[in-house]
Amino acid sequence: MVQKEIETVKKAERDAVKSIEEAEKKKEWIIKKADGKAEAEREALISRAKINGEKLKKEKGEKAKSDAEKIKLESEKKAKRMEEKTKEKIPEAVDYVVKKVIGG
């Protein structure tokens, strides 16, 4: 009877050790899986950040190009208006010079 109880206790100890080992293995597996998931998520975030960065660069580049075109067109319009105003003033300037030289 005592021998049977001793065997039962030893079996319980072996089962407990086995359960602890299995729990450790499962814990390691879960940690590896979580690490793998975390790594995959990190890679995905990095990839998305790169894509968004490239997209942003492209958008900024296109916007800068568009802004430069607008500035160029505005400058050309201003230059044309100034040229027209200057042409309008030429007859007045000629009259003024003629009056000063002749009428003096």
Where are the domains positioned within the chain?
Answer: 1-77
Question: What is the value of pTM for the model shown?
Answer: 0.42
pLDDT tens across 43-83, in order?
888 888 888 888 888 888 888 888 889 999 998 999 899 88
The dihedral over CA atoms of 75, 77, 81, 86, expressed in degrees to the nearest 10, equals 50
pLDDT, position 102: 80
| Token reading at 54 | 């490239």
